[in-house]
């Protein structure tokens, strides 16, 4: 059985104890549904997230130093996920932010509208991709990475999440600047609040520290519209639940057959799949926030597994 990390075990147990199905919990923590089911069954018998599994057979001949040396010499079959570089001031700011929000409850977080921009590419990323397949399955549609000459194009979007469901998705034309960002907020953010019947006084708006978000033009807009903002620590995408929603959206698009073959088709597919985001999934992301903050405190401001 694949053994999950203590952090993932805790998140899995919380999700499934609150009624999440194994498939949805697996998507949230990044594992197979069978792994989620087996680990949850084991945790029901012994809810010790840090318990080490019993390893039958002969004991290891290598000590920890030898294991680290072997790991350094291991062929590079896989690549670590890219994460923004954390300078000392980033680590300190992240830790301070976590301490400041340590007592926030799910009810507190439910007032936050999380936002972000993302880029989706036709036919997937430019990086190396791998899939597991059996002999004779190499040319099945789900195992073939589709490509087109000179690339298939891309779509840049802005989106937001509310406790009540996904907000409006906005297609970004050209390079995003401060003026266009204000137009997005005026159209898509306020359109989202109107869709859900939410007064501006009832929400806290989250955005990262991109210069366009912090420009004088944007600050004047927030002040004029009386928008309360959530202070945000630099380099903290692991604390923004919309990052999980972007990854989930990308997977749903890649499951489509046939796949979109140009930016306009991709945009239409993104809009459709975004609107279909399950409310239970969105609210489970919100419910994960106290745990994320606790993990950030445990990590003393360094990266967390989210």
Residue 30 structural domain: 1-54
Token pair in block for residue 98:
């976590």
* Mean pLDDT lowest among 136-150, 237-251, 264-278, 285-299: 136-150
Both 119 and 253 in a single domain?
A: yes
Both 248 and 189 in a single domain?
A: yes
Residue 78 in any domain: the answer is no
Q: Say what percent of the chain tops pLDDT 70.
A: 78
Residue 75 in any domain: the answer is no
Both 41 and 107 in a single domain?
A: no
Both 197 and 257 in a single domain?
A: yes
| 137 has pLDDT over 70 | no
| 104 has pLDDT over 80 | yes
Residue 159 in any domain: the answer is yes
Residue 68 in any domain: the answer is no
**pTM greater than 0.85:** no
Residue 127 in any domain: the answer is yes
Rounded CA separation 292/298 (Å):
10
Residue 84 in any domain: the answer is no
Q: What is the pLDDT of residue 99?
A: 95
Mean pLDDT of 229-248: 94
Both 176 and 285 in a single domain?
A: yes
pLDDT band at 62 (very low <50, low <70, confident <90, very high): low
Residue 72 in any domain: the answer is no
| Tens of pLDDT, residues 267-300 | 999 999 999 999 999 999 999 999 999 999 998 9
Both 184 and 118 in a single domain?
A: yes
* Mean pLDDT lowest among 50-59, 89-98, 244-253: 50-59
Q: What is the pLDDT of residue 138?
A: 46
| Tens of pLDDT, residues 176-212 | 999 999 999 999 999 999 999 999 999 999 999 999 9
15 within 8 A of 39, measured Cβ to Cβ = no
Q: Which residue has the higher pLDDT, 158 or 52?
A: 158
Both 110 and 46 in a single domain?
A: no
CATH number at residue 191: 3.30.420.10
Both 46 and 167 in a single domain?
A: no
Both 257 and 190 in a single domain?
A: yes
Q: Structural domain tally of the chain?
A: 2
Q: Are strands 154-162 and 170-172 parallel, antiparallel or unpaired?
A: antiparallel
Both 98 and 162 in a single domain?
A: yes
pLDDT band at 128 (very low <50, low <70, confident <90, very high): very low
Q: What are phi and psi of 300, to 5 degrees?
A: 55, 40
Tokens 């978000």 correspond to what residue? 213
pLDDT band at 47 (very low <50, low <70, confident <90, very high): confident
86 within 8 A of 303, measured Cβ to Cβ = yes
Both 289 and 166 in a single domain?
A: yes
Return the HEC string of the chain.
CCCCCHHHHHHHHHHHHCCCCHHHHHHHHCCCHHHHHHHHHHHHHCCCCCCCCCCCCCCCCCCHHHHHHHHHCCCCCCCCCCCCCCCHHHHHHHHHHHHHCCCCCHHHHCCEEEEEEEEEECCCCCCCCCCCCCCCCCCCHHHCCCCCCCCCCEEEEEEEEECCEECCCEEECCCCCHHHHHHHHHHHHHHHHHHHCCCHHHCEECCCCCCCCCCHHHHHHHHHCCCCECCCCCCCHHHCCHHHHHHHHHHHHHCCCCCCCCHHHHHHHHHHHHHCCCHHHHHHHHHCHHHHHHHHHHCCCCCCCC
Residue 158 in any domain: the answer is yes
Both 117 and 188 in a single domain?
A: yes
Q: What is the pLDDT of residue 303?
A: 82
CATH number at residue 4: 1.10.10
């Amino acid at each position: 059985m694949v053994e999950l990390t203590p952090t993932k075990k805790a998140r899995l147990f919380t999700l499934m104890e609150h009624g999440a199905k194994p498939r949805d919990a697996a998507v949230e923590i990044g594992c197979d549904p069978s792994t989620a089911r087996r680990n949850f069954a084991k945790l029901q018998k012994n809810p010790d997230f840090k318990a080490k599994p019993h390893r039958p057979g002969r004991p290891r001949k290598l000590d920890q130093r030898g294991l680290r040396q072997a790991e350094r010499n291991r062929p590079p079959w896989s690549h670590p996920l890219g994460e923004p570089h954390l300078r000392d001031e980033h680590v300190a700011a992240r830790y301070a932010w976590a301490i400041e929000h340590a007592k926030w409850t799910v009810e507190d977080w439910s007032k936050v509208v999380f936002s972000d921009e993302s880029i989706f590419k036709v036919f997937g990323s430019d990086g190396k991709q791998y899939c597991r397949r059996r002999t004779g399955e190499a040319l099945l549609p789900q195992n073939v990475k589709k490509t087109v000459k000179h690339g298939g194009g891309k779509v840049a979007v802005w989106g937001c999440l509310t406790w009540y469901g996904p907000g409006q998705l906005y297609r970004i034309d050209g390079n995003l600047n401060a003026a266009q960002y204000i137009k997005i907020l005026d159209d898509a953010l306020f359109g989202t609040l109107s869709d859900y019947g939410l007064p501006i006084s009832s929400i806290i708006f989250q955005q990262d520290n991109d210069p366009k978000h912090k420009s004088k033009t944007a600050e004047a807009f927030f002040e004029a519209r009386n928008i309360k903002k959530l202070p945000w620590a630099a380099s903290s995408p692991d604390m923004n639940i919309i990052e999980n929603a972007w990854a989930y959206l990308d997977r749903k698009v890649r499951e489509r057959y046939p796949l979109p073959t140009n930016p306009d088709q991709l945009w239409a597919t993104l809009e459709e799949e975004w609107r279909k985001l399950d409310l239970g999934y969105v609210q489970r992301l919100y419910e994960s926030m106290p745990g994320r903050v606790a993990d950030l405190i445990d990590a003393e401001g360094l990266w967390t597994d989210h």
